[in-house]
Structure 1
């Protein structure tokens, strides 16, 4: 029997995520999430392309396009809006990334709930 994680769950200090950059977090062997810091805001998503069901990044913490304007799926070049997760280019129009509930307490980034629980 595996131990149940308690939430909120500390991920990192907000300052560990580069400004206009991203950072990934491995939750278990098969599941990961990532955070994007853009214009002093943080956005967290499951690391899963809605089209191919693959992880978005091909290298650690590489989730953004060259200009850092969009989240990029390295598998097929789909682009997603940072603030909404909406697909704006590629083979997955009308889909979006799955957002992850989070909170910031005293400069620390926490998961608010288990992002792998089924959504009602």
Structure 2
């Protein structure tokens, strides 16, 4: 490396042996390209390993989040089932109350019929007594 810096700073000589103005580009040998390609490959391998670790971390976080969401979903389903059961029980109670009110309503209807029948019977009885008294 020192030799390359000296060549760049010295200005070097051209092909014709004359001094050129400005620095001359250093020669890069095959061993330099080989070393550079090894470094690039090593860097790529390290970056791939880092990305693989990051991918593994994301995958484990995804699995953890999925399991947490599954637990939350199970809790929501349990709460939904409990609410549905309570709703069904409440509906059943209201249906029973409706049946009781219908029975009471039927009793009042029968009582009304009996009361109307009794009033009509009393009126007919009273009219027949009056008619018999008048005809005598």
Same fold (TM over 0.5): no
More strand as a share of residues: 1
Work out which of the two has the higher radius of gyration on C-alpha atoms and give 1 or 2: 2
Q: TM-score, normalised by structure 2?
A: 0.12
Bigger relative CO (Cα 8 Å, ≥ 6 apart): 1
